[in-house]
Structure 1
Amino acid sequence: MSAAGSTAVADAWNGPVGAHWAEHHSRYDTMLADFDDALFGAAAICERDRVLDVGCGSGRTTRSAGRHAARGQVTGVDISAPLLDRARSLTDGGELPHVGYVLGDAQLYPFPAGAYDVVISRGGVMFFADHVVAFTNIARGVRPGGRLALLCPRPGAPDGEERAALGRLAALAGQDRPIQGELAAAMASLSEPSRIREVLSGAGFADVAVNAVTRPACWGRDAPDAVDFYLSRTPGLTVPDQTREEMAAVLRPYESERGVLLGAGVWIVTARRP
């Protein structure tokens, strides 16, 4: 779930952020798993399709695309070397010989013209330095009539579960917000439907549709486990045991048999190359 971006963002995905996502790939995949049906329903991948997964991260969606396009070809591209190392280690070449990965900046990478029937991304397209340039480059790789299906973060309502709970955790941990700095700004760069339509239309895509989807995001097995995961996302951040207990108390109302579930919202975006 990372992609191209400014030097600072690229450095993060090849440094501590990328290393954390690679180490905790199963946690991040579990957190986002309930959104996969909406993404793949929108992508409508057929068994012979050629698929590009932009910002593929550790490859969960790339491998899923490979199972949908069982007689096609699937390529995952990402700017993060640690995440691609993880993706390759998790991909069984015997089961999915038609799935491969490319290390590169999708804003600049020379995709073969018209090589793909479908482009997908589960939260990997917000980090580009110039979104119109990036999607124009991606569009060159899509055949006429090919389609795009993306997942982008949706701004949470002030009283929404995830926004409210994570805001309280950040305050208790002494942070201004759950995600800091340039990465936070990049995460929000495609959070407004008008901006999404402007970017994709400017890049040459047509029939742009933006639909809201809400699902539970799983943050951990139980409240203490979710707190441990939350704190691990900020290297060097330590809090007293009492604060950990206060943070766990915030999350206990969201515990369930499936873990700590916080309602979260995304945009599912579709478009077509004319």
Structure 2
Amino acid sequence: MRNSAKDHGTGPTDYDAELRLHDRILRRAAAVRHDDHVLDIGCGSGHTTRQAARAARAGSAFGVDVSAPAIERARELARAEGVGNVSFERADAQVHPFPPERFDLAISRFGTMFFDDPVAAFANVGRGLRPAGRLVMMVWQPAERNEWEVAIRQALAGAGQAEAAAPSGPDAFSLGDPETAERILSAAGFADIAFTDVHEPVYYGPDVDAALGWVRGFTSTSEALRRLGPDASARAVARLRETLSAHLDGDGVRFDSRAWIITARRP
């Protein structure tokens, strides 16, 4: 439902906390070697980039994101944590002139679904990979398989009403169909394309108030509420609070989610 790869917020919840269970799966799939040079696509505030840098002790990690505030925050955190073999640049991976055959591995945590021309974008990433270089990315499966998307959309719409319209712009589920994703990657020059199911919950906060603040910060949620009048918006927020309350357990507010780990190789 969100129409941005990263919804950076403040408060008790953040994007890294939301995806904490997904991180370990991505790390295991990436299997960063000690001398790898790693590209992190859509790196946000650099959590996954710093993880890669720590694993690549004799190599390096380079994170790119289109958000200038996210890149500045990534640099601050890398300095604060003393991670020296990492660098960040505000850049669009679709067109950025990556050094040819520089990287052994390209990774992404939900940062590759928003390309205007995905074939051209992945071809550009591929040019930055060495021969036999790997691509390991996590993307959402189709919307209907993600409880967080369905539940939030229904809460915003309300009983007996049409579902809230999907926001205009980028589609967070654009790579959810394996046939579509494989066709894109093949056209971009990748081989040995494989899909692994990821079934882990997303975390929205320790309590309902925190979760409501986090979800209201989603671009799609704020757009939907803006389209409603004051009374209808207040009712939608009340429904959203009820939905979040129903998903509160001893670990906080969590929703079921389904994603893919997609792996591929540059021939």
The CA distance in 2 between the partners of 1:260 and 1:252, in whole Å, is 7
TM-fit CA distance, 1:141: 0.7
SS in 1 for 2:14: helix
Task: Give the conservation status (yes or no) of the 8 Å contact 2:13–2:210.
Answer: no
| Residue type of the alignment partner of 1:51 | V
2:180 to 170, 195, 206: 195
Task: Give the conservation status (yes or no) of the 8 Å contact 1:50–1:73.
Answer: yes
TM-fit CA distance, 1:245: 3.7
1:252 equivalenced with 2:245 (yes/no): yes
Tell me the alpha carbon deviations over residues 205-259 of structure 1, each in whole angstroms, 9 at most, x when there is no partner.
Answer: 1100012211010112222321222223317746666654432222222112221
Task: Give the conservation status (yes or no) of the 8 Å contact 1:150–1:270.
Answer: yes
Q: Which moved more, 1:230-239 or 1:127-136?
A: 230-239
Q: What is the 5 A alignment of 1:98-137?
A: 98-137=85-124
Which consecutive residues of structure 2, in runs of 5 or more, have no partner in the other structure?
A: none
1:169 to 155, 162, 170: 155
- Alpha-carbon distance change, 93 to 226 in structure 1, aligned in 2, over 3 angstroms: closer
The CA distance in 2 between the partners of 1:262 and 1:51, in whole Å, is 31
Tell me the alpha carbon deviations over residues 136-181 of structure 1, each in whole angstroms, 9 at most, x when there is no partner.
Answer: 11111101111110011111446x5323321222214999548611
Which consecutive residues of structure 1, in runs of 5 or more, have no partner in the other structure?
A: 3-8
1:221 to 206, 212, 221: 206
| Residue type of the alignment partner of 1:189 | S
TM-score scaled to structure 2, two decimals?
0.86
Report percent identity of matched pairs: 36
| Residue type of the alignment partner of 2:151 | A
1:209 equivalenced with 2:194 (yes/no): yes
Tell me the alpha carbon deviations over residues 59-80 of structure 1, each in whole angstroms, 9 at most, x when there is no partner.
Answer: 1111111111122110001111
| Residue type of the alignment partner of 1:103 | R
TM-fit CA distance, 1:93: 6.2
| Residue type of the alignment partner of 1:32 | L
The CA distance in 1 between the partners of 2:166 and 2:209, in whole Å, is 20
- Alpha-carbon distance change, 24 to 111 in structure 1, aligned in 2, over 3 angstroms: farther
Task: Give the conservation status (yes or no) of the 8 Å contact 2:39–2:107.
Answer: yes
Task: Give the conservation status (yes or no) of the 8 Å contact 1:170–1:178.
Answer: no
RMSD: 2.7
- Alpha-carbon distance change, 161 to 187 in structure 1, aligned in 2, over 3 angstroms: closer
Task: Give the conservation status (yes or no) of the 8 Å contact 1:22–1:82.
Answer: no
| Residue type of the alignment partner of 2:207 | D
- Alpha-carbon distance change, 128 to 27 in structure 1, aligned in 2, over 3 angstroms: same
Task: Give the conservation status (yes or no) of the 8 Å contact 2:26–2:261.
Answer: yes
Higher relative contact order (CA 8 A, sep 6+): 2
Q: What is the 5 A alignment of 1:229-248?
A: 229-233=214-218, 234=222, 237=226, 243-248=236-241
1:87 equivalenced with 2:74 (yes/no): yes
- Alpha-carbon distance change, 102 to 22 in structure 1, aligned in 2, over 3 angstroms: farther
The CA distance in 2 between the partners of 1:226 and 1:93, in whole Å, is 28
Q: Which moved more, 1:109-118 or 1:242-251?
A: 242-251
Structure 2 residue aligned with 1:265: 258
Task: Give the conservation status (yes or no) of the 8 Å contact 1:22–1:58.
Answer: no
Q: Which moved more, 1:256-265 or 1:114-123?
A: 256-265
